[in-house]
């Protein structure tokens, strides 16, 4: 019954040996008949469907996410001919991450010890579920399988998404719902459930990744003599000056009203189901420590530009839409009078998260026209984030 699309049952594109039966929570030494029975059991429990045939597909993904070991989709038909599918994400400790060796050895050790690779499972914890406002939900969770060796398989709803939309209004709805969710996540009992202090995740990123990936290249005179960069000395100077203020920015953010955010609320992680167009399905929460209200908007702003789907020229419009929509969401759940604080946190946190290290220097090794255009988009993104931060750092006053 179960076909693996030409892949062996032992590999499945995961980069390590794991039988399908083990992913399903069964005996790793199960034969094909037992594996088929496990598939049938999962599909029946999750969807109420009797399986006629099934196929496992490996979904491509970026290796930039340290906690993602694999993405898989189990698809097939039922005995009534209906098509069905389930999604599986394998979470892993960053000690299995393919890019770990690119970090300095001391940073590697700290990263492995401190990175909360299981935090995506928090999405289905009852206290987190209770904070989701109407219109925002998690995928239906079907099974969590501990694989051992610091890996876990998470079987969930495979959300059939609506076609991509070019309507800027899509950002308004997302920002409003994030505002409501963040307002509900300011409660002391929500914040105190996290073992980490305010700003922990952003601080870890800004203090460990940004110096290496952002400030280091910015200080490289030879690198900045490249034709693609030589005209942007002003951006370089501004980012280096802002880099000197990173400790100050982090400390200031920690004093502002805090929430427990999604952490990576890019549009790619806020799915629009084809059969529920007024609903957003939240996936891939991360950076799970308290952060200042407004932090959440950074990834919503830059996510599609990072992916090459929204031009940097649209960033001013997106920013001008999502901030008031987010503030409206906060107000509708009882958090009001923080416009200055939220605007400050939005601008400075977005700079810290994406302003210093979004330049794709590797593209300069292959100076095609397409790569030049992509690089120019990233320059424009960094320029915009730097300008927004500089604009709030001067006039901003708390309260």
What is the tens place of the pLDDT at every residue in 51-62? 999 988 888 877
Rounded distance between C-alpha atoms, residue 315 and residue 320, angstroms: 8
Rounded distance between C-alpha atoms, residue 378 and residue 361, angstroms: 10
Rounded distance between C-alpha atoms, residue 102 and residue 299, angstroms: 24
What is the tens place of the pLDDT at every residue in 8-56? 444 454 555 567 888 888 887 778 888 889 999 999 999 999 999 998 8
**Cβ 357 vs Cβ 205: under 8 Å:** no
**Cβ 124 vs Cβ 91: under 8 Å:** no
pLDDT at 5: 45
Pairing relationship of beta strands 151-157 and 258-259 according to DSSP bridges: unpaired
Rounded distance between C-alpha atoms, residue 87 and residue 154, angstroms: 8
Q: Is 169 exposed, middle or buried (0-12, 13-18, 19+ CB in 10 A)?
A: exposed
| DSSP-assigned beta bridge partners for residue 328 | none
Which region, left, alpha or beta, applies to residue 258 given φ > 0 means left and ψ of -120 to 50 means alpha? Answer: beta
DSSP at 161: B
Per-block mean pLDDT, blocks of 10 residues, the chain (399 long): 46 57 82 87 94 89 79 93 95 87 80 86 95 97 94 96 83 97 96 92 92 95 97 97 97 97 95 94 91 98 94 96 98 96 98 97 95 98 98 73
**Cβ 54 vs Cβ 2: under 8 Å:** yes
CA distances from 355 to 12, 249, 295, 309, 387 (A): 36, 13, 14, 18, 10
What is the tens place of the pLDDT at every residue in 197-212? 999 999 989 998 899 9
| Mean predicted lDDT score pLDDT of the chain | 91
Rounded distance between C-alpha atoms, residue 118 and residue 271, angstroms: 21
Q: Cα torsion for 136, 139, 147, 27, to the nearest 10°?
A: 160
Q: Which two tokens stand for residue 318?
A: 């997106």
pLDDT at 295: 98
Rounded distance between C-alpha atoms, residue 142 and residue 48, angstroms: 12
**Cβ 175 vs Cβ 136: under 8 Å:** no
Give domain limits for the chain. 2-125+143-151, 159-393
Strands (E) across the chain are located at 2-3, 51-59, 68-78, 83-92, 136-137, 141-146, 151-157, 258-259, 270-271, 280-282, 291-292
Q: Is 156 exposed, middle or buried (0-12, 13-18, 19+ CB in 10 A)?
A: buried
This prediction's pTM: 0.92
Number of C-beta neighbours around residue 220 at 10 A: 13
Q: What is the fold of 159-393?
A: Aminoglycoside 3'-phosphotransferase; Chain: A, domain 2 (3.90.1200)
- What is the per-residue DSSP string for 350-389? HIIIIISS---GGGGGS--HHHHHHHHHHHHHHHHHHHHH
Q: Which of 95, 72, 96, 74 is nearest to 83 (CA)?
A: 74
SS3 124: helix
């Amino acid at each position: 019954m179960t076909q693996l699309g030409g892949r062996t049952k032992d590999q499945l594109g995961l980069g390590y040996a794991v039988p399908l039966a083990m992913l399903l929570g069964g005996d790793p030494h199960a034969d094909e008949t037992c594996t088929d029975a496990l598939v049938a059991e999962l599909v029946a429990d999750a969807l109420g469907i009797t399986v006629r045939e099934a196929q496992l597909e490996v979904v491509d993904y970026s290796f930039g996410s340290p906690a993602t070991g694999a993405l898989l989709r189990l698809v097939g038909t039922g005995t009534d001919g209906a098509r069905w599918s389930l999604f599986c994400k394998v979470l892993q400790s960053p000690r299995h991450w393919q890019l770990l060796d690119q970090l300095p050895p001391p940073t590697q050790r700290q990263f492995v010890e401190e990175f909360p690779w299981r935090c995506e499972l928090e999405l289905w914890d009852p206290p987190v579920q209770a904070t989701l406002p109407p219109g925002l939900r998690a995928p239906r969770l079907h099974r969590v399988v501990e694989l051992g060796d610091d890996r876990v398989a998470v079987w969930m709803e495979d959300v059939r998404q609506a076609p991509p939309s070019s309507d800027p209004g899509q950002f308004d709805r997302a920002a409003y719902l994030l505002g409501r969710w963040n307002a509900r996540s300011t409660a002391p009992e929500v914040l105190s459930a996290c073992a980490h202090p305010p700003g922990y995740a952003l601080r870890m990123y800004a203090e460990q990744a940004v110096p290496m990936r952002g400030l280091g290249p910015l200080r490289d005179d030879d690198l900045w003599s490249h034709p693609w960069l030589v005209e942007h000395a002003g951006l370089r100077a501004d980012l280096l000056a802002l880099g000197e203020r990173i400790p100050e920015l982090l400390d200031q953010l920690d004093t502002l009203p805090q929430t427990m955010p999604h952490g990576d609320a890019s549009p790619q992680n806020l799915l629009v189901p084809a059969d529920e167009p007024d609903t957003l399905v939240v996936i891939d929460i991360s950076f799970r420590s308290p952060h200042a209200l407004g932090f959440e908007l950074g990834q919503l702003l830059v996510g599609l530009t990072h992916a090459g789907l929204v031009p940097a020229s649209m960033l001013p419009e997106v920013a001008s839409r999502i901030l008031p929509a987010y503030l409206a969401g906060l107000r509708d759940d009882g958090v009001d009078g923080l416009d200055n604080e939220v605007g400050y946190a939005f601008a400075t946190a977005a700079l810290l998260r994406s302003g210093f290290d979004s330049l794709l220097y590797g593209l300069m090794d292959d100076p095609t026209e397409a790569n030049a255009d992509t690089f120019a988009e990233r320059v424009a993104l960094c320029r915009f984030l730097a300008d927004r931060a500089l604009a709030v750092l001067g006039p901003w006053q708390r309260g």
